[in-house]
Amino acid sequence: MSDPVWNVMLTSCPSRTSLARVANKWTAMIVIALSDGPARFGAIRERAGGISAKVLADTLRDLERDGLLTRTAYDEMPPRVEYELTPLGLTLREPLTALGRWAEHHIEEVLVARDAYDQRSVG
């Protein structure tokens, strides 16, 4: 029996859910926030700027379910929980960091294009 051939362009392909998860802006922010090592919830939220506690909790849970990060609860007082990228999650670090750098590098061009589009749409 041969290995299945995955094709993200097919609606029935389960790789679509992985692509949707990775393409989510908060996933990218969380992966970048965890690129330097484990972090607590509050630190991730601060680094990712603008994410609500609920969305962060939901996204962390989804990333853990997909095997991209681990959640470690320490038996101490006060309780401490840390999140860390797994080896699979670390494979996203380079492409998502590169995507972030691309966004920073090209934002001026994007803003000019938006302004031009908006001017054409108004007139």
CATH number at residue 111: 1.10.10.10
pTM: 0.85
Other residues' Cβ atoms within 10 Å of the Cβ of residue 51:
19
9 within domain boundaries: no
Domain interval for residue 96: 15-122
User: What is the share, in percent, of the chain residues with pLDDT greater than 70?
Assistant: 98
2 within domain boundaries: no
Residue 70 forms beta bridges with which residues? Answer: 84
pLDDT tens per residue, range 41-96: 999 999 999 999 999 999 999 999 999 999 999 998 988 999 999 999 999 999 99
* Contacts (Cβ under 8 Å, ≥6 apart) of 8: 15, 16, 19
